[in-house]
Amino acid sequence: MKAASAVVTLCAQLHPQTQAQLQRKNLMTQDLPQMDGGNLVVTVEQLEYAPGGASAAHRHNGCTFVYVLEGALVAKLDDGGENTYTAGQMFYEQPLHLHAVSRNASQTAPARFLVFRVIEKGKPATVPAK
């Protein structure tokens, strides 16, 4: 992350017009649990629920960030309440916490979202809820 920030700063210094053209909006900052960085992989997937689509309760290995691209996504983590996330919003799932509800909020429109995950190599991204 520091390297990416340094690249943006350097580009802005070399091309001052870029500063005015580049708008930055912090969507989320999240502390992560202690992990051994030597055996980790980052994955980014685009997923889509059809109208009325849903997933069974499950858990995710690794740190999981979800960003809604289109539509609305209903999620319930652990024993918390259901939350509805719309385009431009995101949420975080801690490793192996229960993703009790995951569904499209609409019966008529799809919901598209990005899942960014930091996980140990070789582990499955999703496991059934127990």
Q: In total, how many domains does the chain have?
A: 1
- 83 domain-assigned: yes
pLDDT of residue 32: 75
Structural domain including 63 reads 28-128
- 13 domain-assigned: no
- 14 domain-assigned: no
- 32 domain-assigned: yes
- 8 domain-assigned: no
Instruction: Give percent of the chain with pLDDT exceeding 90.
Output: 57
- 11 domain-assigned: no
- Lowest average pLDDT, out of 21-30, 73-82, 98-107, 120-129, goes to 21-30
pLDDT band at 8 (very low <50, low <70, confident <90, very high): very low
Structure-model confidence comparison of residues 8 and 126, the more confident one:
126
Residue 113 CA, chain-centre distance (Å), reads 8
Collapsed DSSP state (helix, strand, coil) of residue 18: helix
Q: Per residue in 47-64, pLDDT tens? A: 999 999 999 999 998 999
- Lowest average pLDDT, out of 7-11, 28-32, 58-62, 125-129, goes to 7-11
Average pLDDT over the chain reads 84
Say how many CA atoms lie within 13 Å of 65 toward its Cβ. Answer: 16
Distance CA 20, CA 12 (A): 9
Would the pLDDT of 25 be above 80?
no
CATH code for the domain in which residue 32 is found: 2.60.120.10
- 18 domain-assigned: no
pTM of this prediction?
0.76
pLDDT of residue 3: 38
